Amino acid sequence: MMPRAGLRFKTYLLISMMVVFGPLGDVLLGKGMKQVGALTSWTPSGLFHFFDAAFAVTTVWLGIGSLFAFFLAYILVLSWADYSFVQPASSVAYGVVALLGYLVLRETITPTRWAGIIIICAGVFIVGQTPPRTTEH
């Protein structure tokens, strides 16, 4: 495998992990916080009870774990790939967020929102045709 092909493979692998774990973590965290309910008091006691309730919910911890996996993949991919490649390429996650919001959280996604997501994903395809790294160490 050529070094350039290897760089492209590991970059796409980690961006794929970002695209899965970021939205999954967001949706799990959102679902868990809906179970907890809204913060009703900004007093120290109210904040303590709110966070105590939030950290007692398994879905919140699964969301935190998924977001941690996203963050690790993000750190790793940025260690070799250009930020100007990684950020747009990982934007396909917007489509995953909408899909998970629809399937898991039962949110309504309007046709206009789907059209915007399709435009974003088309941009991701265009960015994906460029090399992940334009500078050498």
Instruction: Report the predicted TM-score, pTM, of the whole model to 2 decimal places.
Output: 0.79
Asked if residue 136 belongs to a domain, the reply is no
Asked if residue 79 belongs to a domain, the reply is yes
Mean pLDDT of the chain: 88
The 3-state secondary structure of the chain reads CCHHHHHHHHHHHHHHHHHHHHHHHHHHHHHHHHHHCCCCCCCHHHHHHHHHHHCCCHHHHHHHHHHHHHHHHHHHHHCCCCHHHHHHHHHHHHHHHHHHHHHCCCCCCCHHHHHHHHHHHHHHHHHHCCCCCCCCC
Asked if residue 135 belongs to a domain, the reply is no
Whole domain around residue 81: which residue ranges? 3-128
Instruction: Report the pLDDT value the prediction gives residue 137, as an integer from 0 to 100.
Output: 56
37-71 per-position pLDDT tens digit: 999 999 999 999 999 999 999 999 999 999 999 99
Asked if residue 77 belongs to a domain, the reply is yes
Number of structural domains the chain divides into: 1
Asked if residue 115 belongs to a domain, the reply is yes
Asked if residue 133 belongs to a domain, the reply is no
- 58's CB contacts (< 8 A; 6+ apart) are 32
Q: What percent of the chain has pLDDT over 90?
A: 55
